[in-house]
Amino acid sequence: MRSADEVAREDLLTFLNAAFVSTGQAEFASTAEEQRLGIDFLHEYVRGNYRRLYARLLAVGINDFHTAEILRGLLATGRETPEDFRGEENALIRAGARRLPPQRFWKLTARLRREGVNNRRTRAMIRHWFDTHPDQTFQAVKYRRKVAGAFRHAHIHPDGELAEFLFGDHRSPFGTELLETYRQARYSQQAVLRLPYSVAQGLAAKHGMAPETLASRMKTRLTDKERLRVAGRTEDVEIRPERLSLTELTSWLLSRKELDEQADQWLDRAATAVLHRSGPLALTGRVAAVLDNSFSASASRERRGRPLAIAFAADRLLRLGHADYRGFWTSPFEGRPRPEGQSNLSERLLDALDWGATTVLVISDGVENDPAGAFPSIMARLPAEVQVLHLNPVFDPEQLEVANLTTHARALGLHRAEDLPTALGFARYVVGDGTLAELEGNLAGPVRRFIEGGHDA
C-alpha cells in the first residue's frame, strides 16, 4: 500500500506534466476531443482532492490554457473552498486573471457566461481586471463583443462613452479618438487602417479589401504574433526575429526552406537571452541529449512541427549553456532537421554512452519503434553513475500522462524550450527526493510573490 503522500505526489506530478505540456490541441496520435476529455478529468480530479495545491499552481508558470481552466474551475465551484483558504484563493484568482493575455481573459469570460457561472467572485474578478487595465478603450474596441457580453453577464455599467460604444448604436460622433475611428470605419477606408489589425480584418472585408492588401498596408502596425501569422501569406510583411521567444523563433525558422547564417545568429541570441534570465543550467559532468526527429515529431496540423522545434531549440540551449555537451539526433542531418525516419532511441542512447556521457537527456515523445521496448531493458543495465532524464513534449490523453521511457523516474513534460531550466530544476523532486510538505513549502515563496504582483517563474 502506498502512503497518502506518495499517492498525492503521483497525482500532482501527473497534473503538473499535463498542465505544462498539453494545450487541448490534436497531437500526432490523438485527436483534440481525446485531449480535452483527459484534461477535463485531470482538472476535476485534482480540484476535488487537492484544492489548495490546485489554486497555488497558478503561481508556478503553467501555460495559459490551463491557467484559464483552473480559473474557470475555481469560480464554478466556489462552494467547496475551505473557509481559511478563501482569502488566498480570491487573491490567487485575481493574480491569475491578471497574468492571462487579454484574448484568453475575454474568452474565459465568454465561457463563464455560456456556462452560467455568475457569482460574486466572478463579477468581482471581471470588474477588477477591467478597472485596473491601463488602456480600457483599446480593450473595448479590440474585443468589443466579448467585452459587451462580459459586462452584461456581470452587470457592470461602464462609465463615460464606453457604455454608448458597447451597447448603443453609433449614431452620434464620439469624443475619444479610437472610438470615433471605429465609428468612421464603417464608411471610410482610411479609418479602417488606423484600427488594430484583428478588428480591421473584419471591417476591411466590408470595403472589399483583400486580406493581403490590408496586411501590407498595415505592416508597420502589426504585433509580432500577427506578423508570424501573416508571414506565410504575404511577401512584404517582415518578422522581427529579435522579438520572438526562442520556441516561436525556432518554429518559424523550421517552417522555412533553409537555415542560413543569420538564422543561426538569431537562435544564438534568443538562447543566450533565456540563459541570462534563468541562470546556469542544473547540469554537471558530460551531458548528452538524445533528440527525436522521427516522423512523429511533426505532430498534427494544429501543432505543426512543435516537438521538433522544441528539440532543436533545446539543443541550442544546451550547446550554449553547458560546455561539455553533444546532441545525438535519431536521424542525423545536414543543415536543418526534418521530421522523418524511425524512433531508434536505444541506438542513440548507446552512442551517447559510447561518447562517455554521465547525464543523458532524452527529448522525445517516448514512442520507440525500432525496436519497441528496448529502451527500458537497456536502462536496467546502465552503469551506476549514468543518469537518464526524459523530457516529453507530448501528452497522451489515454494514459493521462506524458509517456515515460525511464524506469526509475517519471518523465517531465516540456511545453517550450524556455522551460528547460525550470524542468531541470524540478528534476530532483521528480526523481523521488522530496515530500509533499516540501513541495508546498517550496511553493509558498512563489505564491506570495505572485499574489503581490511580481512576475511569474
Partner 1 sequence: MRELAAPLSLPGLTPAPSQVCGTFRLVPLLRDRDCEDVRLVDAGWEPGTRFVVDANRLSFGFVPHAFHLDWGVALGTQVLTDPKDRGRNWLVTHRMRKRLSPGRLRFLPQHLAIEGLLSMHFNPPTIAWPELSQTFMRDGLGMRMESFAPGTEIPGFDTALRIFEIHPRQVGMLVFVSDALAAAFVVPSPRDYRRLHLGLLDSLYCDLMITYACHHPTRWIVDPAPHFEGASTVVELREGLASLRREWAQVTNEVLLGDLTHRGLRTETVYSLPGMRLERFVTSLELGAANHIGERILRDDGEVLHLNTLRLNASQTRRAHLLSVLGEHDWHLPSAAEALRIDVPSVVARLEAQGFGHLVNHNFREQAAKARRR
Q: In the complex, which residues of this chain contact partner 1 (CB under 8 A)?
A: 28-29, 294-296, 331, 340-343, 346-347, 350, 353-354, 369-374, 377-378, 380-381, 383
**d(C-alpha 216, C-alpha 207), whole Å:** 16
Q: CB-wise, 219 or 304, nearer to partner 1?
A: 304
Amino acid at 454: G
Q: Least distance (Å) from partner 1 to the CB of residue 294?
A: 5
**Nearer to partner 1 (CB atom), residue 119 or residue 407:** 407
- Dist. CA 118–CA 387, nearest whole Å: 50
CB of 330 to partner 1, least distance (A): 10
Backbone angles phi, psi at 170, to 5 degrees: -95, 55
**Shortest Cβ distance from residue 332 to partner 1 (Å)?**
11
Which CB, 239 or 360, lies closer to partner 1?
360
CB of 256 to partner 1, least distance (A): 23
CB-wise, 88 or 370, nearer to partner 1? 370
Phi, psi of 387 (to 5 degrees): -115, 135
CA distances from 200 to 176, 180, 215, 322 (A): 18, 14, 10, 46
CA of 247: how far to CAs of 23, 33, 225, 274, 380, in Å?
Answer: 15, 25, 13, 11, 33
Q: What are the cell numbers at 254?
A: 523550421
Give min distance, CB of 349 to partner 1, in A. Answer: 9
Q: Which is nearer to partner 1, 73 or 339 (by Cβ)? A: 339
Q: b/e map of 185-207 (b: 16 or more CB within 10 Å)? A: beeeeebbbbbbbebbbebbeee
C-beta closer to partner 1: residue 341 or 446 = 341
Q: Which of 286, 311, 279 is nearest to 387 (CA)?
A: 286
Least distance (Å) between residue 286 CB and partner 1: 14
107/326 with CB nearer partner 1:
326
**Residue 370 CB, nearest distance to partner 1 (Å)?**
6
Instruction: Provide the strand spans (E) within 292-448.
Output: 325-329, 359-363, 387-392, 412-413
> 3-class SS at 390?
strand
